[in-house]
Amino acid sequence: MMNNDNGSLKNTIDTVLLAEFLGKLAGCTRSMGLYGRSHPVMQEMTDAAHQALAQVLSVNPVVTLAVVDAYLTLDSFPIEENPESVSALAETLDGHGVGEIAFSAGVTEDEIADLAEALCMTREDLSTRGGIIADVKNRGVTHIQLRSGFTPAEAREGQGPADVYEEALLVVEEALEAVHTGLRIPLPEIRAVVEDSLKSLTSDETALLALAGIRSYDRYLSEHSVNVCILSMVFARGLGIDQSIAVDLGISALLHDVGKVFIPEDVATKPGKLSEEEWEHVRRHPSAGARVLASMPGLPSLAPTIALEHHAYNDGTGYPSLVASRRPHMLSRLVAIVDTYDALTTDRPYRERWTGQQAVAWMLYEAPNRYDRQLMARFASTWDLYPIGSLVQLVNQQIGVVVGGSMKHPTKPTIKLISGSGQSKGAVNLHENADPGFEIKSLAQPVEALLPFTDRLLAA
């Protein structure tokens, strides 16, 4: 993967050539607004800009510029040559909310024209297309990447849950695109949006959780990533996990599925059963994501671990296979629960979504050894479901221990009745038993009694 984030980059690029290209790009943008794309003068100007950029990219295959007020900077040094045109371009980018612009080898004249056409549009017009970043991406531009500007925390006060959620979607989409194209992921923005999400959850988690339930088929991967981030932090808060660890967990959960960008699109969206070869593409995504995240400085050390382990289940199944003596990290086990839950409650090409109760019941009763028993019990308690091994009191005052159940009838598990001496008196499927006395009245003990693990969480 190309990494252009080092102090020597400025010395390897002729900034005069770079400024020449930026000036020609600024000219393309001005002329596009005057003449339109089909005018002959645009072809000449786009060709000139393309040639100038090709010279720059022959020195370094990826050049990333930051937008700072009226400046474009390379390695934190303003591009000072030909300042008038470069400053005009910087002001245009800044006005559209662009914080970084990256050019990579292979860029075409059409892509330069697409960028110029987007830059000469008003912010109001671009807002109907999802903003300039979405517009450029939707035009099929792959060798020019725009990233949003990083807003200082104090200027972000007052953001509502909808703003936080939409910003999280945009940031994770930028991160996924960066991983796919070999560029840097926007780490400051990721940390900021996770901190904003946690702050929003602390004040009122209801609205942000409601937004996490609104799904768009076209944005599945980004929405799934944001939802797993939010739900993981809600889960962590309920367990009493320290806020700083919750932020690291949120960042890691947001990036847990980055390896999926390497799965061929026809495999990722296939409505039918996957072949063994296609499944192999899917099984590789945790390892691919972990390798990418491990190579990125500044990320929590937990991030590659969760990316690698979120499908490596508690019973040794899943992928990739871990050595027999190694269990997934405790927080990987937490994310595995949330990841499965969100996937099961989302419409996919091959099946309709399940309800939350159905999803949790399936995880409890039909895959009982896959997930951490104690974490799963705590997760299930929010749905008024009964983990295997929990004691329940019936309306007829008898006590039973839950031994199984079904996602089709999530609130009516199978129990074994316990006599006064503690001996089993036989199994009863509460769904099939019509006696009103065989209704569950309450848990005979709190689910928390099954969870003596929070003190060991950080040592796991």
pLDDT digits (tens, 9 = 90+) for 252-264: 999 999 999 899 9
User: Are 182 and 256 contained in the same domain?
Assistant: yes
pLDDT of res. 208: 56
Q: According to the model, what pLDDT value does residue 88 have?
A: 83
Same domain, 252 and 311: yes
Does 257 reside within a domain? yes
The mean pLDDT of 53-63, rounded to a whole number, is 88
Report the domain count for the chain: 3
Question: What is the structure's pLDDT at 457?
Answer: 39
pLDDT at position 45 is: 92
Task: Name the more confident of 426 and 446.
Answer: 426
pLDDT digits (tens, 9 = 90+) for 124-139: 787 677 778 888 988 9
pLDDT given for residue 269 in this prediction? 80
CATH number for the domain that contains residue 348:
1.10.3210.10
State yes or no: pLDDT of 288 exceeds 90: yes
At residue 144, the pLDDT reads 92
What's the pLDDT at 112?
Answer: 94
> What is the structure's pLDDT at 289?
93
**CA 9: distance to chain centroid?**
30
- Pick the range with the lowest mean pLDDT from 288-292, 320-324, 394-398: 320-324
Model pLDDT, residue 9: 47
Looking at the chain, the whole-number percentage of residues with pLDDT higher than 90 is: 28
Contact predicate 332/387, CB 8 Å: no
Does some domain include residue 369? Answer: no
pLDDT at 103 over 50: yes
320 prior amide bond cis, ω within 30: yes
**153-162, 339-348, 358-367, 432-441: range with lowest mean pLDDT:** 153-162
pLDDT digit string (tens) for 431-458? 898 898 899 988 766 555 544 444 443 3
Same domain as 261, residue 188: yes
User: Does 417 lie in the same domain as 344?
Assistant: no
Model confidence over 354-390: pLDDT tens digits? 999 999 999 999 998 899 988 998 898 878 788 888 8
| pLDDT score, position 169 | 81
**3-state SS string over 16-50?**
HHHHHHHHHHHHHHHHHHHHCCCCHHHHHHHHHHH
According to the model, what pLDDT value does residue 170 have?
82
Do 285 and 420 sit in the same domain of this protein? no
Q: Is 241 left (phi over 0), alpha (psi -120 to 50) or beta?
A: beta
Calculate mean pLDDT across residues 173-190. 79
pLDDT 10s digits, 184-227: 777 878 888 888 887 777 666 565 556 565 555 457 788 899 99
**198 with 78, same domain?**
no
Higher local confidence (pLDDT), 405 or 326: 405
Look at 152-161, 173-182, 192-201 and tell me which has the smallest mean pLDDT: 152-161
Distance CA 144, CA 147 (A): 10
Same domain? 318 vs 416: no
User: Identity (one letter) of the amino acid at 167?
Assistant: E
Residue 53 lies in a domain: yes
Kindly state whether residue 17 falls inside one of the protein's structural domains: yes
Model pLDDT, residue 371? 93
What does pLDDT average to over the chain? 81
Within this chain, do residues 114 and 155 fall inside the same structural domain, yes or no? no
Residue 209 is predicted with a pLDDT of: 58
Examine the domain organization and report whether 182 and 297 are in the same domain: yes
Of residues 46 and 174, more confidence is placed in 46
Give the residue numbers spanning the domain of 392: 384-450
Residue 203 confidence (pLDDT): 66
What are the distances in angstroms from CA 71 to CA 6, 89, 148, 169?
20, 9, 16, 27
d(CA 371, CA 312): 10
Residue with more model confidence, 423 or 59: 59
User: 427-431 — which CB contacts under 8 Å span 24+ positions?
Assistant: 427/403, 428/400, 431/406
The residue whose two tokens read 């830059």 is 119
